[in-house]
Amino acid sequence: MLEVRNISTYYGHIQALHQVSLEVSEGEIVSLIGGNGAGKTTLLNSISGVAPPHQGAILLNGHNLTCLPSEAIVGQGISQVPERRQVFGNMTVRDNLTLGAYRRLQKPGERHAVKEDIDYVFSLFPRLKERQKQQAGTLSGGEQQMLAIGRGLMARPKVLLLDEPSLGLAPILVQEILHIIQHLRENNNTTILLVEQNARAALGISDRGYVLETGRVVLTGTAEELITNKEVQQAYLGRSDCL
């Protein structure tokens, strides 16, 4: 479904990605793991058009997205939930969700479908329903993360890009977020590319994974293969005897 072919991305004169390639098949959860500065967020930003690659190609179902602006990439079916949530703090919860469906609302006859999708997000995150008239900036960190994911879903994405969804959250909320991610795949067949600081938790719900180091893919495999890989254990998973 999603194919990244040998992309290289620069920030000014600094090369952040070096001929990175990956694939995500329909209905898969694929994790990107690596240390700080490895290029994980840059890769998501390249896919979504925020930081377009200078070389290579990005395809969705065979259609080349490489030269499209971000809003057109959203229209093609890729939605990104950014790191540190980035909700619109002065807007209500409901208005944040509605904004996620902005492109859809430009089409005739979509208003009722958007309302149904808001109700679906509220079914996933009942706390958002309770706070739907509350300003997003007054929510807790966990509630803001739920809102950010919900807003991403409002575009009805074919591929959902999640950047560090558990960052800064209490362990019980991390488990809740991971459970929702699994639910989206199992019940909606949502295809997910996941960047997650908790590599063990991410691989625990993933089908496959890629390891990035200094802007390069250095290892790929099934989630089970990566979890049992001695180098991955030492670098990202802690002690192997805790498995």
Phi then psi for residue 7, to 5 deg, are -85, 145
Share of the chain above pLDDT 90, in %: 81
Domain ranges of the chain: 2-77+157-242
Residue 204 has pLDDT above 60, yes or no: yes
Q: Per-residue confidence at 84, pLDDT binned at 50, 70, 90?
A: confident
Contact 158, 191 (CB under 8 A): yes
Contact 113, 89 (CB under 8 A): no
- DSSP string for 97-160: HHHHTHHHHTSTT-HHHHHHHHHHHHHH-HHHHHTTTSBGGGS-HHHHHHHHHHHHHTT--SEE
**pLDDT for position 168:** 83
Q: pLDDT of 147-198, one tens digit each?
A: 999 999 999 999 999 999 988 888 888 899 999 999 999 988 899 999 988 8
**pTM assigned to the model:** 0.91
Residue 82: CB partners within 8 Å, gap ≥ 6?
148, 163
Share of the chain above pLDDT 70, in %: 98
Name residue 134's beta-bridge partners: none
Mean pLDDT calculated for residue range 11-20: 96
Mean pLDDT calculated for residue range 62-74: 93
For the domain spanning 2-77+157-242, the CATH number is 3.40.50.300
**pLDDT for position 243:** 37
**pLDDT for position 238:** 66
Name residue 106's beta-bridge partners: none
**pLDDT for position 105:** 85
Contact 131, 139 (CB under 8 A): yes
